[in-house]
Amino acid sequence: MNRETKTYLVYTVITVIIALISIGYFVKVHPLGSSQYAKATVLNKSDLMVDTTNGMKYRTIKVFIKSGQYKGQKVDIKNYENLNPLWSINPNEGDNIILYINKDSSNGSKFNIFTYERDTTIYLLVIIFVALLLLFGGLKGLKSLLSLIITLILILTVIIPSAMKGKSPVTTAVIIAFTVSFLSFLLIAGFSKKSLSAIIGTSVGLITSGIIVHITGITAHITGYGTEEALILRNMLPKGANLQGIVLASFIIGAVGALIDTTISIPSAIEEVKNANPDSPAKTLIHSGLNVGRDIMGAMSNALILAYVGGSMMLLILFTSVNAPLMNILNSEIVATEMIRMFAGSIGLIVSIPATAVIAGWIYARRKEEADEI
């Protein structure tokens, strides 16, 4: 067994152990099933009818229950028409749905259609993602998967709980983002000049983004209640929870992926230049790093902004359809929140590029200078 195979097996074991522990933890907190819910398949449905008692339109839908206490049973459900598309569930024959079971000691069990079954699609996407990552990425793909699992664990078990307790989520997010980037670089490049340069460059970008988020969050009076999800959470959050901080912390976490990608690419390019021309001085290496960084900057800045714009497409359609004045649009909290999210991450990314190039150029140039001194 060669060294690469042993390394692959070690990372595989570590990844599987961490994945199983994290899955066990989340299943304990969020059980996979509930006695109040069950999966079912639609067998057929009637034409639209009118309920004479309340005048509401409904269809009778026959379903086959696939899980839970009533597994194997066929039941008829009155599915009332809802004019709100968000809550309107009108499945067709063969559709898989989730039933809500309202248990009542006097009337037995009443079944209602809760929503469409979507978890199977999500599980399939996860399997395809992991399979492709391992197939094309090999050992590096496995390392990326391990880094991703650790990142999700830290977000769900550290950032969110600390925010719920009223602690500063922005500070916590910067620390977690640094930890994640540190682990990612060690997994990708090990203990090397490349990882050291990337860690320092990422730290500069994270600190810059953190400062901008903190200052703009205060000056723009971001409350955290600028989204529909926040309004839903308002009455569910524990006392002292820092919703504003949670929103601002999400800006940092959203930018760290682009930072990691950018700051590892620059020292990789500088390392190649150094290997091709061992006598290259620091100035040449830095110049090479900056040239590569400029190309990355254009691509990654566009990627960040387009990702945020894509996530806010419905919001943009809303404002353009009502012909609201630009002053009203820019001063609404929901737009201001997205603008800060967009530009704070992009500014941190831009600042990290020259910082990484300078650090990497100096570090790789030192290798030759130290050798000459010996």
- Locate the domains of the chain by residue range: 37-117, 165-373
Average pLDDT over all residues of the chain: 81
> What is the pLDDT at residue 166?
66
Q: At what angle do helices 243-276 and 193-219 cross, to 10 degrees?
A: 150
Is residue 184 very low, low, confident or very high in pLDDT (cuts 50, 70, 90)? confident
pLDDT for the residue 105? 47
Report yes or no on whether pTM surpasses 0.75: no
Distance CA 234, CA 63 (A): 36
- Do 37-117 and 165-373 share a fold? no
pLDDT per residue as tens digits for the range 66-87: 988 889 999 998 888 876 655 6
Q: Treating both helix axes as pointing N-terminal to C-terminal, what angle do 282-311 and 313-321 enclose, rounded to 10 degrees?
A: 60
The CATH architecture that domain 165-373 belongs to is Up-down Bundle (1.20)
pLDDT confidence band for 302 (50 / 70 / 90): confident
Rounded (10°) angle between helices 313-321 and 333-373: 140
| CA–CA distance, 233 with 17 (Å, rounded to integer) | 33
Domain spanning 37-117: CATH 2.40.50: yes
The reported pLDDT for the residue numbered 355 is 92
